[in-house]
Structure 1
Amino acid sequence: MGVVRPKLSFSALLPLALDLLLVLLAWWAAFWLRFNLDIPDEYLRVALHGAVLALPAHAAALWGLGVYRQVWRHTGLPELRRLVGAVLLGAVLTAALIFMARVADFPRSVLLLHPLLALLLLGAARVGQRLYFERHEGAARTGRPLLVVGTLNEAAAALRALKGSSQWRVVGIVSPLAAEQGRSLQNLPVLGDLSALPQACRAMGVRTALVASLPGSAARRDALLQSVEGGLTLLTLPQPDDWLSAGTEGPRKVQLEDLLGRAPVQLDVRGLSELFAGQTVLVTGAGGSIGAELCRQIARFGVARLVCVDMSEIAIYQLEQELRATHPQMQGLYYTANVREYERLRAIAAQHRPAVVFHAAAYKHVPLMEDGNEVEALRTNVLGTLHAARVAGEVGAARFVLVSTDKAVNPTSVMGASKRLAERVLQGVAAQWPGTQCVAVRFGNVLGSSGSVVPLFAAQIARGGPVTVTHPEMVRYFMTIPEAAQLVLQAGLMGRSGQIYVLDMGEPVKIVELARMMIRLSGQTEDAVPIAFTGLRPGEKLYEELLADDETTEPTPHPKLRVAKLGADGGLAAQVVEQWLQQAGPAPDAAALRAWLQTLVPEYRPR
């Protein structure tokens, strides 16, 4: 497909004519400079002869390189680079024509001076027009005043994104860097640091601030604290993936993920494409928060067939509706099945022969599994993992990935111990099926996932409080749902059989600070929505451990993934689990269950 060039019309030829006038002016200026502003009479003929050759050469270069496909009023570096190329090409063509025409006594220094002068004039004309339109549009703009929060580099990116917006009018910048105080960017002053945000907004008559700082940065959190004092609304720009979403335009309100999220995960896109493209992938727990996001991410890599399994009818229905709309070309199969039913799971897998299996089905609510549901945690988390891993091995899947948790480290709850036992079971299956790479991935709390603290806090804030926090010193690791799913995919690609991967969860967050951030994001204060401390619940720990230090983990090629140094299981755990659960019946004694669990997970310490 060839380059589309402007049609020959008056509106297209007029800019060319104006440019050629500037080229001609530069031509005479080059001669004047060559002869100290006094061209001898004998060189006037040479200049005229050369101009006749230079004008068509530059016209051909400017038109041929598509300079007039660009809009002058929006001239930027890409347009100026194209202009430089056209002027240099015109200079080369001019020199070639002059040498071919054998113009006598032609001063060669003019051939060097002319393109410099022509570029100066043509560039100045474009920059001048852009400045004129920007000043004109700035004077006429009636959008709402807006402050930008971020460094000058971050503010520059935000200004580019807001360019042409009729809704917003940026009036100043607040920078977290002391060295940038008092400076300006595009005639916008840096009004102070983050502590000055409320005062700057009052002085400028602003009620809204756009946070351009990186997701998860301290500047974002500090801006939130200051916004409450000043009664401001905080906005942020969507991430690149959000721009592609339907209905996502321009700035949006700051969300919790923007405050606790981090820089995007760097994925091995080529490796994942090779793993998934044209393949069949099976996901258990596909209707849950992590399972559904895994399905979304896998679909992006061109999987041929995605087999989604979940025991919840409504969850699998909602996932089906979403994936049919977003990936109509993909063959999706949706089953309401339970991983505890081995024969049913094997029948589904045998029918579709998945190349990769992701096992996200689990019970994960600690207090609920701690009181009256202990055996359910074992049957789903341990026996379900054993079934899914065995099925993956039997159908010849190349990879099996277990989604585990930080609560499996030195567990104090039945849920945590069940996930640690599931890891041991997985290692045993890995030894039995060497053709299937079986790996586990541990991570902490996921923002907004079902059963997490975030939806609970949101509901409590909506009711006017109080927001219930178990302990003022309780801390947890957090990551966003997309980040967690992407790292699970990456670990599945990299992992060797029997390995347990630990995700870099960043810095831990105090739950009480999380509650305060959510209260402030809702536009409330702690006076209006109080925080109440209720005490630790059964099975809960103040601190979750990830085993992510150098003594207990080993690095991998990916900066956010490490491998836990844990011994492999020879398969004994799987046999013991099956036998004990068959004998335990529907309602085993809770104390006996915990005692038995300690024999298989020695680090388990019931609280």
Structure 2
Amino acid sequence: MIRRIDLIPSSIKLLVLLTYDLLAIFSAFFLAYFIRVGVQGIDISLQEISVFLVVTVFTLTLFYYFDIYSSVVRYFNAKSFLRIQSLLIISTIMFYMAGVAFNAFVPLSVPLIFLVMTSIMIAGARALIGFIVDQHWFAQREGVVIYGASNTGRQLVHALSLGNKYQPLAFIDEKKRYQDRNVLGLKVFDHTKINQLVNKYGQFKVLIAVPEVDPIRLKQILASLEPFALELLIIPNMSDIVSGKRTIDELREVSVDQLLGRQAVKPIPELLSANITNKVVMVSGAGGSIGKELCRQIVQHNPGKLVLLDVSEAFLYEIHQELLELLSDNQNHLVVEPLIGNVQNGMLMSHIFNKYKVQTIYHAAAYKHVPMVEHNVIAGITNNVLGTYEIAQAAIYCEVETFVLISTDKAVRPTNVMGATKRLAELVLQALAKKDHSTRFVMVRFGNVLGSSGSVVPLFKKQIKNGGPITITHPEIIRYFMTIPEAAQLVLQAGAMGTGGDVFVLDMGKPVKIVDLAYKMTHLMGLTIRDEKNLEGDIAIKYTGLRPGEKLYEELLIGNQPKKTFHKRILKANEFSLFWPDVAKMITQLTDAMRDEDVSKIKALLKDFPLEYQPNLINEKTETVRAADSKGDVKEEVKKEVLMVT
């Protein structure tokens, strides 16, 4: 209700208040005479009418001059009351003086009664409105526009009408049969006329009431709304609404992965279950972003037992409790074993594998933050290389069937220590795969995942909520992104494909320019970026410069001619590998340098090893990328450079 009043033009509000005050003065004037002389004694002559006109004009002029009409009535307070009361006292004095001047019949009691009546009708009425609003008799509701005038949108309007948070203003719908008509008293606008709605209502939230929409269609809807910097909310899944887990008005924020989303590829059930169903599965780094999602998906495929391993007690507790709740809701009696341990302890790993008869390992434990590893070189190598070596040796010794390493695109021609350690970890497993044993080693390499620890998405979200600035290292930097659930699902399937020593890469889709991502995230939250085109924007962007070892763009392949697999989003890389004696020699050299805490020597060794590690490499393709991106699309140029199928 209040939102609708706010939308009334100021000129109309002024006219309404002037009209009301005029009627109040008129009523108070004649009631004062009625109370004083009674109905029989009232004899209004031209003199009394002249007094009335003088008092009315004088009072309204006073109110206008002292900004009574520029005040918001619903915020009327004691200070406002005293101001109006003071002006009414002055008007009362003018009443008496005008009576004397016009020689009108104005007994002394009439102006006093007039003062009481105008105080009640003018100051009292305003005070009553302020009190009602303060007591939330009419809740102040935020204006929203609902995208979708079909059954779901109408249900949402009914649900919102029972609450006190949102006030529906209009519908947006693409169906011609709804457009320019009224549904439940709300006008339906074409989706191409959002600008008209913004001009009419100002800023508002958009509630997307399109049930069970596929990711591609949702991406199109969001892309059409995003440039207007309107905060977007979406209804819960219909399955949750039907089951009673959620109500239709339990709105949630639109996530960036929905804005950047792509059509999901139906998984191949045989691949998902091959290494999991009825097997004892262990996830190392189970408390990390990828580790957690692997656990969530693994429990859906009926493992015999799930072993969670993490060095962090807090992260381990968090995922263990989440899985217990999930299993309880589904009446699943799966045994989940949470174990605190470090993969660098080979004896502990062997003990765990023997005790629980582990058959499949998903090795997600790693230090993956580029700047942190850059400043903690020895720790990075100890965990990412030696830790992988220790857990892999234990797996061979205990005859674990399958070992899947979660690798990264930063392992390809690395320019930072983290990437070099992950590429060396790949070489370790490739070399071990060539030895005579029964463990099958598989490596899966992919890029950034939305929302993971260290991802720009949660960082940007925090910075936007804090009012900015958003920090970006370089205006031309681009990255490939994938959602955590899709990455985990593809990892599970790729792990079932390998025959031993295979390196698989995941199709990451189209590259995303990080500065564009910042703009989109800001707009999704109903704010705008402050730049040369919009000096009044809400959030600034600050460029901090590329960090040590950071590339403008990442790659997923080293060699040429990747092989297709029978899953359209998984490719098999044709990568260089070594035999174990060569890898063992590298590990020995690294271990000696680490024992001496000689970081310079460690970096020199990494450069000498066949990792293509170039820490001082300047990206020679910056200008090429910038030129290719002049129209906002770097897909073709980057595809040529990184040999990525998109």
Calculate the TM-score normalised by the size of structure 1: 0.67
Residue 556 of structure 2 is aligned to residue 559 of structure 1:
no
Unpaired stretches in structure 1, ≥5 consecutive residues: 1-141, 150-154
CA distance in 1, matches of 2:182, 2:437: 65
Q: Which residue of 2 aligns with 1:447?
A: 450
Residue 196 of structure 2 is aligned to residue 199 of structure 1:
yes
Letter in 2 for 1:234: L
Q: Which residue of 2 aligns with 1:167?
A: 159
Query: Residues 392 and 266 from structure 1, CA distance in 2 versus in 1: closer, same or farther, beyond 3 angstroms?
Result: farther
Whether contact under 8 Å (1:353, 1:396) holds in the other structure is no
State the 1:143 CA deviation.
13
Letter in 1 for 2:365: A
Q: Which residue of 1 aligns with 2:380?
A: 377
Counterparts of 1:22-421 in structure 2 under 5 Å?
146-148=145-147, 159=151, 166-167=158-159, 172-175=171-174, 191-194=189-192, 196-200=193-197, 207-210=205-208, 212=210, 214-215=214-215, 219-228=220-229, 232-238=230-236, 247-250=245-248, 251-328=251-328, 329-371=333-375, 373-421=376-424
CA distance in 1, matches of 2:392, 2:378: 20
Counterparts of 1:427-576 in structure 2 under 5 Å?
427-526=430-529, 527-547=537-557, 551-576=560-585
State the 1:404 CA deviation.
0.4
CA distance in 1, matches of 2:221, 2:489: 24
CA distance in 2, matches of 1:393, 1:471: 44
Unpaired stretches in structure 2, ≥5 consecutive residues: 1-140, 161-167, 530-536, 617-646
> Of 604, 608, 630, which aligns to 1:595?
604
2:504 is paired with a residue whose SS is strand
Deviations 1:506-555 (A, max 9, x none): 11111111122222223222222100001001010001112399x43111
CA distance in 2, matches of 1:374, 1:509: 29
CA distance in 1, matches of 2:600, 2:241: 53
1:358 is paired with a residue whose SS is strand
Whether contact under 8 Å (2:274, 2:496) holds in the other structure is no
Letter in 2 for 1:226: P
Query: Residues 380 and 240 from structure 1, CA distance in 2 versus in 1: closer, same or farther, beyond 3 angstroms?
Result: farther
Whether contact under 8 Å (1:470, 1:536) holds in the other structure is yes
Whether contact under 8 Å (1:181, 1:190) holds in the other structure is no
1:208 is paired with a residue whose SS is strand
CA distance in 2, matches of 1:470, 1:313: 33
CA distance in 2, matches of 1:466, 1:143: 27
CA distance in 2, matches of 1:268, 1:476: 27
2:389 is paired with a residue whose SS is helix
Deviations 1:366-394 (A, max 9, x none): 111112x1121111111111122222222
State the 1:318 CA deviation.
1.0
Whether contact under 8 Å (2:468, 2:539) holds in the other structure is yes
Letter in 1 for 2:609: L
Letter in 1 for 2:370: V
Whether contact under 8 Å (2:144, 2:170) holds in the other structure is yes
Q: Which residue of 2 aligns with 1:605?
A: 614
Whether contact under 8 Å (1:227, 1:233) holds in the other structure is no
CA distance in 2, matches of 1:350, 1:214: 45
1:569 is paired with a residue whose SS is coil
Whether contact under 8 Å (1:360, 1:403) holds in the other structure is yes
CA RMSD of aligned residues (A): 3.2
1:477 is paired with a residue whose SS is strand
**Structure 1 stretch 291-300 or stretch 165-174: which is displaced more?**
165-174
State the 1:566 CA deviation.
0.9
Letter in 2 for 1:332: V
- Give the % identical residues: 41
Deviations 1:414-468 (A, max 9, x none): 1011111111111111112552221111111111111222222222222211111
Query: Residues 145 and 604 from structure 1, CA distance in 2 versus in 1: closer, same or farther, beyond 3 angstroms?
Result: closer
CA distance in 2, matches of 1:245, 1:414: 49
State the 1:241 CA deviation.
8.1
Whether contact under 8 Å (2:147, 2:206) holds in the other structure is no
Q: Which residue of 2 aligns with 1:14?
A: none
Deviations 1:25-68 (A, max 9, x none): xxxxxxxxxxxxxxxxxxxxxxxxxxxxxxxxxxxxxxxxxxxx
CA distance in 1, matches of 2:181, 2:394: 62
**Structure 1 stretch 353-362 or stretch 561-570: which is displaced more?**
561-570
Letter in 2 for 1:316: L
State the 1:165 CA deviation.
6.8
State the 1:272 CA deviation.
2.4
Whether contact under 8 Å (1:265, 1:483) holds in the other structure is no
Whether contact under 8 Å (1:437, 1:498) holds in the other structure is yes
State the 1:405 CA deviation.
0.4
Deviations 1:294-352 (A, max 9, x none): 01110111112111111111011111111111114111111111111111111111111
**Structure 1 stretch 280-289 or stretch 262-271: which is displaced more?**
262-271
State the 1:413 CA deviation.
0.5
